[in-house]
């Protein structure tokens, strides 16, 4: 019986070393817990066994426990030594592989697979700079000149770069240029490739049949022409080291977009005022003028962004609208839906985002009214869309005052066309008037962009072969102005523009 108990006891004891993290009390006919007998404690690692055993077995049990403990230690030491040896071997192998010719090396750009002989290698994507991307090197790409009251940019060479998008993977460069980059003809891209202007991962390509892979980096060098803007200088309203405030003229975009790069507020400030590393707090439409805020550092940018999100930044605009706007305060809360992100076309629609704008008439000259606007939300084209819905579109609004909206021109949300039909009608109307540039859509079938007499022509550039007429003031200015921005502890404002004065008369 003692031998059977001892065998059972050894089995339970060994099991306890591997599984239990608390006290194990063994109770049997030969081992009972009694308040009058002191227990014997056996300790290994974090396991404590409280035992009451038969006196004749104590010596054998202690020997067994000692043997088990030694075996466990030996196994642990063996595992540690093996792990160190394996680790050292792997490091040695990695070092030898790195010092070798690199054959068989795993490359992230190739999807973690070994590059097979003859297979095109794609390097891993480079880390992008999370900070401000424009500096003096970009500002020095070209220069301005002024003509007929307009600020113009001398044509210059520019590299458009992009990483391969998911929908391009498996397609040839030819297919991508056909479907995605239709500003130029396929013949142009083929000639540009032969002249080394199209590069893939830094290497010029001489044909467009190359099939794109994930992480491919494309670079296309073009001879770039920018549309002119008004020649009015940028006036700095405030600059305290944390916030820079300017009075933006109409026709100038805030930052590079579409066909504009140097004729933008960001580049003009950098080139003429030496100001860079600005953080955009809010934006104004290209044709809108007025107060524009920039943060000088990231901390200030976050603080102002929070004010915008908490709606503690009061924005006040003025505009001139068609007809006699009603007296008193008018509030419009119609939801706005984006129809086209490309040209920023929006409309009132129940499926849109909630909006709220408060209007108040300031004056009426018999034909048009000056209206004070308080947008309480920040949707795209919110003021313009709500005024159109109320039946008083901004006097020279090229989008929301267009006849493409139908006989009611969008008043009350009445529209007999689908969104696609509306967009097409709007484009066709401006194409017929040779004013597609007002929608920021290039039109190579006509001749809008004069070339400076000292600018060099590029034999591949289609723009160099065109003579574009200068835009008129009516095409460059929309009667919408950001008059005031007010926060909890600051307020920035400008003077009323001439067209917002009570005695102003429209000239034909």
Residues with a known catalytic role: 285
- Beta strand ranges found along 124-168 (DSSP E): 144-147, 150-153, 156-163
Hunting for tokens 């591949």 — which residue is that? 460
Here the tokens at position 252 are 């100038």
- How would you class 177 by CB atoms within 10 Å of its CB: exposed for 0-12, middle for 13-18, buried for 19 or more? buried
Strands 144-147, 243-248: pairing kind: unpaired
Tokens representing residue 195 in the block? 């002249």
CA distance 336 to 41: 78
CA angle 302, 258, 237 (to 5 degrees): 45
Q: Which of 431, 446, 444, 439 is nearest to 183 (CA)?
A: 444
Q: For residue 66, what are the CA distances in angstroms to 42, 142, 173, 249, 450?
A: 10, 85, 74, 89, 97
Answer yes or no: are the C-beta atoms of 216 and 201 closer than 8 Å.
Answer: yes
Q: How far is CA 191 from the centre of its chain?
A: 33
* In 208-344, alpha helices (H): 265-268, 298-309
Encoded tokens for 269:
């400030």
What's the rounded Cα separation, in Å, for the pair 148 and 243? 33
Alpha carbon distances (Å) from 38 to 2, 54, 66: 22, 13, 21
| CA 159, 163, 168, 169 torsion-angle sign | positive
Residue 24 phi, psi dihedral angles, 5° rounding? -115, 120
Q: Residue 52 carries which DSSP code?
A: -
DSSP string, 350-389: TTSB---EEEEEEEE-SSEEEEEEEESS--TTHHHHHHHH
Retrieve residue 175's tokens: 């297919």
Q: Where in 86-154 does DSSP place strands (E)?
A: 144-147, 150-153
Residue 211 DSSP one-character state:
B
d(CA 388, CA 397): 10
């Amino acid at each position: 019986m003692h031998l059977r108990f001892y065998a059972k006891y050894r089995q339970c004891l060994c099991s306890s070393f591997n599984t239990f993290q608390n006290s194990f009390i063994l109770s049997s006919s030969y081992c009972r817990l009694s308040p009058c007998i002191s227990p014997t404690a056996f300790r290994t690692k974090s396991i404590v066994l409280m035992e009451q055993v038969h006196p004749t077995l104590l010596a054998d049990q202690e020997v067994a426990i000692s043997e088990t403990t030694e075996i466990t230690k030996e196994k642990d030491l063996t595992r540690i030594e093996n792990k160190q040896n394996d680790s050292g071997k792997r490091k040695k192998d990695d070092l030898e592989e790195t010092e070798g010719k690199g054959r068989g090396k795993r490359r992230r750009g190739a999807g973690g697979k070994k590059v097979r002989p003859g297979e095109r290698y794609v390097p891993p994507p480079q880390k992008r700079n999370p900070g401000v991307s424009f500096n003096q090197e970009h500002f020095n790409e070209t220069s301005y000149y002024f003509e007929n009251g307009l600020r113009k940019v001398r044509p210059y060479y520019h590299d458009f770069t992009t990483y391969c998008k998911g929908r391009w993977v498996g397609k040839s460069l030819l297919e991508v240029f056909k479907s995605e980059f239709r500003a130029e003809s396929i013949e142009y891209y083929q000639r540009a490739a032969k002249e080394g202007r199209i590069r893939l991962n830094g290497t010029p390509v001489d044909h467009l049949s190359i099939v794109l892979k994930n992480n491919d980096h494309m670079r296309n060098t073009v001879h770039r022409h920018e549309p002119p803007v008004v020649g009015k200088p940028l006036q700095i309203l405030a600059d305290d080291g944390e916030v820079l405030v300017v009075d933006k003229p109409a026709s100038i975009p805030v930052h590079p977009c579409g066909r504009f790069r140097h004729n933008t507020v960001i580049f003009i400030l950098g080139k003429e005022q030496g100001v860079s590393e600005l953080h955009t707090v809010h934006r104004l439409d290209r044709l809108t003028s007025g107060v524009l805020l920039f943060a000088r550092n990231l901390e200030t940018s976050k603080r102002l962004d929070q004010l915008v999100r908490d709606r503690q930044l009061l924005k006040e605009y003025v505009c001139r609208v068609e007809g006699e706007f009603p007296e008193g305060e008018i509030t419009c809360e119609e939801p706005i839906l984006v129809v086209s992100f490309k040209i920023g076309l929006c409309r009132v629609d129940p499926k849109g985002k909630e909006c709220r704008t408060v209007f108040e008439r300031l004056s009426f000259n018999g034909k048009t009214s000056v209206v004070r606007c308080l947008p309480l939300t920040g949707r795209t084209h919110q003021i313009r869309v709500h005024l159109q819905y109320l039946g008083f579109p901004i006097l020279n609004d090229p989008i929301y005052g267009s006849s493409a909206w139908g006989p009611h021109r969008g008043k009350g949300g009445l529209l007999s066309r689908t969104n696609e039909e509306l967009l097409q009608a709007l484009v066709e109307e401006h194409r017929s008037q040779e004013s597609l540039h007002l929608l920021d859509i290039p039109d190579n079938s006509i001749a809008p962009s004069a070339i400076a007499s000292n600018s060099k022509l590029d034999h591949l550039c289609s723009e160099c072969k065109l003579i574009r007429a200068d835009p008129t003031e009516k095409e460059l200015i929309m009667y919408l102005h950001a008059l005031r921005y007010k926060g909890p502890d600051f307020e920035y404002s400008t003077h009323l523009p001439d067209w917002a004065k009570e005695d102003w008369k429209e000239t034909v």
